Amino acid sequence: MDVKQYLRQAYWLDRRINANLRQLEELKSLKYKISACLMTDKVQTSGIPDKTAEILVKIIDLENQITADIDKLVDLKRDINETIEKMDNSEYRLLLTLRYLNNKYWEEIAVEMHYSYRGILYLHKDALIAYENVCTPLHITI
């Protein structure tokens, strides 16, 4: 895994957490719909309570997965930030922080740092080389 892939892990892990959070909300909504259906019918047909239990198990499993992913993300971002802070060049530090810890788009970074789009990409290339010289990344897989 190269440095760029290592740094991008935080972005993809954050996206996975957000997707799982949306899925969790959908499952919770479904659970409430089933519960409301049971309350209005006041008749429990076979299979409905089993569906509720299945959904509850899925909710718990997904919550556990989200918690584990958040722990990984916090550890990964801490490691990335500690390494960025070891770099001498303040422009490199800012660029890498904006891109890999704040998940900003290149256009946003260019405007914030007063660079052209192409200029920020060149600066990024140099910043990755400097980052690689400062550390050996932990290989935390997502």
CA distances from 20 to 13, 25, 62, 63, 116 (A): 10, 9, 7, 8, 36
pLDDT at 76: 94
Query: What is the CATH number that goes with domain 86-136?
Result: 1.10.10
pLDDT at 2: 87
pLDDT at 140: 46
Q: Of 25, 13, 24, 42, whose CA–CA distance to 142 is shortest?
A: 13
> 136: buried, middle or exposed (CB in 10 Å: 19+, 13-18, 0-12)?
exposed
Q: Indicate the domain borders of the chain.
A: 1-72, 86-136
Distance CA 102, CA 96 (A): 9
pLDDT at 89: 97
pLDDT at 136: 62
pLDDT along the chain (142 residues), means of 10: 90 95 90 60 55 84 95 95 95 97 96 97 96 71 50
